[in-house]
Chain A
Amino acid sequence: MATAEGYDPAVWRQMSEDLALPGIHIPEEYGGAGFGMVELCIVTEELGRALLCAPYFSTAVLAANAIMNSGTDTQKSALLPDVARGARLATLAITEPDGNWDPASIKLVATPEADGYRLDGVKSYVVDGQIADLLIVAARTPRTVGRDGLALFALGATTGGVERRPLESMDPTRKIARIDFRGAHANLLGSLDDGANAILRTLDQAAIALANEMVGGAQILLESAVDYAKLRVQFGRAIGSFQAIKHKLADMLLEVELAKSAAYYAAQAAAVNDPEWPALASLAKASASETYLRTAIECIQIHGGIGFTWDNDTHLWFKRAKSSEVFLGLPSYHRELLMQRWGV
């Protein structure tokens, strides 16, 4: 967390080589473990609980899914095995400096040229953008608007015309970068016909994985608050014996369990391709975002003054909760998306 890279390469090697986690959901023919969304979400839940600093969300959740959702068989064979064994860090660049998560707002242009495309434009809030070896970029072909002309492109991060700048992120456990593309050469992933769907699918999968990461974090915050309420004595009693604290903790438990149910259900729905799963992705994301942040706020509140200090780790989860609330779209954005997807 404290380094510029934002993660410990030794731990990443263990996760990749001993546990094969980056490829857990990648089919075996592309070097992965061959599981699906449910297993991926079990991993993100645990990582959220531990608040592990590692390029997992960027590489495994965003980039790997983007490649699987868009790439041709040849492209998947070329890109996924290195991603699956953690040898190549990757990320997905979607949002631009306007911070909009609706792919229809993408402005970055991909212009056809010999042997591929040239990218011109700016991406921002790119998770692990400063350390990724491989960039997957959402862009549009010239003179298109809305969801037309959208597609995903792949290029090495050191390609000419790519300029990366780390952003100062409030959440020190999730590093983000701004990336300028000035005529950078890239390859189209898959075809131009299905680009918008591949992007939306990737974002919805990411929303579900993030929801599970968030409920993992909320759960440990709840446990931390309960432990502290049993330990801390004021007025001659453990503060957990006061109803003011007890009832707050009971409410927190209820909220965390509700958010868990939504996150688990959405993961299962995506795994079996239930037609409702994109709506449930938005539901789970909105629910977990609100819950994680509220649990973090109440956890600090129950800790009292000590909870507001740098030495007490609660602030790290609070900051992750804050960045996760906004990352992939605010709860209000996802609630509106949910209503549209339910046809209301």
Chain B
Amino acid sequence: MKKPAVPLILNDFEKQEKEVAYNLGMPGLRIQYFRGPVWGKTNEQLKKQIVEGSNPITGKPAMPELVELLTKPLTAEEQRTGEVKQDLGPKTYTGTPDELQKLFLKKRYTDFLPVVLPTEDKVAEMMKFTSHQPTEILGKMNPGSEAGEAWSYTVKEAAVSAVMAGAQPEYFPVILALGSTGMTAVNVSDNGFMAGAVINGKIRDEIGLNYEEGAVGPYAQANTTIGRAWSLLSINGGNCGKVGTTYMGTIGNPMNLIGIIIAENEQKSPFKPLAVRRGFKEGENVVTLFMGWGILSAKNWAATVWGPNMNYPEIIKEIYDTQDGHLFGTCAVLSPPIANFVKDAGYDTVEKFTEWVTGQLPGAKPAARGMEINSGVRRSGGMFTVIVTGGSNNNYFSMGGMVPSMSVQIDKWR
């Protein structure tokens, strides 16, 4: 707009904002910092603490300094033009395994856990499981919508992250499908969002994804290393996960360490798989991305109503009604026994169950969010999504806050 402007930023975001401004081509952007948060404070508190207070970084009185930022002539540095290239180091590193582990840790290429060192041979093994060229741009990613320009990464760079994560080469098409979406597994938001993915199709058995007991737990090689590869690709390919700049979760979210990979238990589910409900063919290998708070909430299982007779559909509905689904709706992760209770109660499709739980009218117009189908809701739990996975050793389920976004085919990445 070519008019002087000054953004007002909380001082806790200084490091992040300087990096964002740098990435946007304004390394010396004039920013006025103040001590936050402002949320929840009265006008009187804001006046005393901010307007009559000081910039916590410079120590200068805040408002006169703000005027100065609008009126003090620009320095030569602030008017500089041209192009800056970021140096990301050499293409390869040579050293002993111990030295390289330390180097990767120091350069923040890792999630702070040891990695499988990505030699050319190991990366080549990974590449055997895709027909795509190593130099093909797989996707673009940034840590969040306002966290700077997106970085790009190639198929080979995704293979490097896959090796580092300990993934088996046969998992690689799934990792590529995830990477192709450009969605980060490690969001910058101070809310501490997590990311997850649901996998449908025959590939679940081909690569040994766990969808029985412990399905959403970490103890399955395929689920865990695919999720870790996605997170490492987000760190290295998308510049995510750097505390203070591209990871600003106020309290963080442990589910950012490894993207949650859920394989649906299609064999034991009484319902059509999630991917089929979203328009894909039965048996087609599809990954559907999710984002939200997580898969668990304090209201899980409604333990206070445990008794000899259980009305699970009613319990699920009650939990839904008390969720705050404004941002991420409500996601019910049902074990097969619970899903069958729902079916036996007369809801033989997820769509019928959704209509009843959410109170939406049959045929309600879907929201304009691509392929999301469980929309048109009017209750507090927001969009309602059902995933069926896990074992049959007891009647358990989980109600969290996750909303599906895009679904992509996996086989095109073979």
Chains A and B bind each other:
no
